[in-house]
Amino acid sequence: DVKVTQSSRYLVKRTGEKVFLECVQDMDHENMFWYRQDPGLGLRLIYFSYDVKMKEKGDIPEGYSVSREKKERFSLILESASTNQTSMYLCASSSRQGVGLPQHFGDGTRLSIL
Amino acid sequence: AQKITQTQPGMFVQEKEAVTLDCTYDTSDQSYGLFWYKQPSSGEMIFLIYQGSYDEQNATEGRYSLNFQKARKSANLVISASQLGDSAMYFCAMRANFGNEKLTFGTGTRLTIIP
């Protein structure tokens, strides 16, 4: 069965800290994505990756960076956390092997920046 | 650019009734796909149904069907015989079939099923 695992369900950090959110998928998917979800705004794409060591900016990349050193792992980094980055973060992966294949999501990380 | 509009922030429906969740979209792409996801209060996003822009038949998956009207750029989700477990947020999303593979999401509809 498809599995996307995010390292933490809940995380509390302080302003200015460097924060790492980890995501691992076991489906050998080429694509991986990071979204943030805020009430009334839906899901917004932060960064995505088509392949190892490749990354593309999404709609709201400011204040974030990503790393993909291995195919199965995609990390989101908050370089210097700020309170406006308090949000729900969702990781997803998908295959490039056909049209109409859905993205599969992890359970999400609720991040609070104090 | 792609845009998804979900105009119903919240809906309340009696158990066992059918419910239609609205979704309209805007795109300049000729080939694209439309997706619906369910997000229960626990937070995970569950894929429900997919419709391709060139599919002639409306997609169906069990109690879910997609009412696709291409000329009107609408892709409404229909849930038949609603159940208490259908209470959740529902998101409509779209993706171009060529080029990058990112999904564009709507703002969601919170569906509450009343016993």
Per-residue pLDDT tens digits for A58-85:
999 999 999 999 999 999 999 999 999 9
Six token digits for residue A58: 């999404």
Instruction: Mark which residues 4-33 of A lie under 8 Å from B by CB.
Output: 9, 31, 33
Residues 6+ apart with CB under 8 A from A69: A52, A53
Q: Which residues pair with B50 in a beta bridge?
A: B35
Q: Which of A66, A62, A55 is nearest to A85 (CA)?
A: A62
* Distance, CA of B88 to CA of B114 (rounded, Å): 12
Chain-centre distance of CA A106, in angstroms?
9
* Distance, CA of A42 to CA of B108 (rounded, Å): 6
- pLDDT tens for A29-38 read 999 999 999 9
pLDDT surpassing 70 at residue B49 = yes
B-chain residue closest to A58, CA distance: B102
The model's confidence at residue A96, banded by pLDDT at 50, 70 and 90, is confident
Residue B41 near chain A (CB below 8 Å): no
Q: Work out the mean pLDDT of chain B and round it to a whole number.
A: 94
Helix (H, G, I), strand (E, B) or coil at A63: coil
Q: Of A31, A43, A104, which has the smallest distance from its Cβ to B105's Cβ?
A: A43
Q: Of A31, A33, A88, which has the smallest distance from its Cβ to B43's Cβ?
A: A88
pLDDT more than 70, % of chain B: 98
User: What's the pLDDT score for residue B2?
Assistant: 87
Stretch among B14-18, B77-81, B93-97 having the lowest mean pLDDT: B93-97
User: What's the pLDDT score for residue B99?
Assistant: 67
Residue B3 near chain A (CB below 8 Å): no
Six token digits for residue A74: 């995609």
User: What's the pLDDT score for residue B73?
Assistant: 95
